[in-house]
Structure 1
């Protein structure tokens, strides 16, 4: 986080509670460049300008906690993880707000965006700090979404998400005033074995 007292204070919620239904095994434990996707994403979160960082896990995979050994994140379990990503966002934002009620914004990041690094997260932080929009979101391919920064005024909306409703519906609601950052790396996410095979066969995978 910036030491400038006038800059917004932005926390981070790393969403890592997905059930990996299409993959058939926990995507959080897939390895890329010698580390699990969960540990890579957690380290990127901690290296970013955001603080504090909260990671949301499911109760279904006991090994997930050990992947975070030695990392200074707040870990919370979403007991209703099977409900979908909406409940995990709700759980993470609530925990983050309890830990740091003075925050101006939250950055939502996804565990399965395997090539996202801290500099990508920081580009969103910088876009938010430049103009203080309601949302600063990633744009990739012909779509947009996470990672994205949401102003504190939207914490209530994030806390009301349910089921498989992600935060994109909130971005749609504020589309005209959202700042977009072109981030093609955000388009690389792992949902299937084919996705993972593409990732690990790329020249950058080792």
Structure 2
């Protein structure tokens, strides 16, 4: 019986534009944002989770309840999301047929959105009003290509561009929001 996809939570950013410290530790609904993101992944059906930490990794490990996740420390987190994606892809178990990539700074992603993308076949991404967002599902056969294109803050953009005709958009706008948190104004809207 094939194994289920593994979730990969990218949570290494320092939140430079926010100026409030590492994004993983932002207080959201009474707990660090990383705990919220992990709870959403678990409730959406993810049984195995790899979380990539960078900025404030020691503080995250000391204060946040991560459960039974595999923790990967990205020492190159300052170079952008691409290094976190590469680090996470490199730590995935060999038996995983796909990875579900999610970002710590998307508090509007819900378990329903995770479940929809997790259940999709092949290369898939959540869509919000037809616009691609997170989480994304990347089959194991694409991991090498995704890692090679993950440079700076680009993440998997090169893979999306090269494989656009293969990408299945899974509409999730009725159950979630794909908005990310990069500015104080965005954060205040989420906290309010």
In the alignment of these two chains, the number of paired residues is 188
> Do the aligned partners of residues 126 and 61 (structure 1) sit closer, same or farther apart at CA in structure 2, a change above 3 Å counting?
closer
Partner of 2:114: 121
Residue-by-residue CA offset, 1:106-135 (whole Å, 9 max, x unaligned): 01000010122222111101122xxxx2x1
The answer to whether the aligner puts 1:102 opposite 2:95 as a matched pair is yes
Instruction: Give structure 2 stretches of 5+ with no counterpart.
Output: none
Instruction: Give structure 1 stretches of 5+ with no counterpart.
Output: 202-206
Show the 5 A alignment for 1:54-203.
54-69=50-65, 71-96=67-92, 100-128=93-121, 133=122, 135-141=123-129, 143-160=131-148, 161-184=150-173, 185-201=176-192
Q: For 2:63 and 2:79, how far apart are their aligned partners in 1?
A: 24
SS of 2:120's partner is: helix
TM-score, normalization: structure 2? 0.89
**Alignment RMSD, CA only?**
1.8
Runs of 4+ off more than 4 Å: none
Partner of 1:204: none
Contact 1:146 1:186 in 2 (8 A): no
Contact 1:147 1:186 in 2 (8 A): no
Q: For 1:159 and 1:127, how far apart are their aligned partners in 2?
A: 22
Q: For 1:145 and 1:187, how far apart are their aligned partners in 2?
A: 6
Residue-by-residue CA offset, 1:52-75 (whole Å, 9 max, x unaligned): 210000053532113443611011
Q: For 2:107 and 2:26, how far apart are their aligned partners in 1?
A: 10
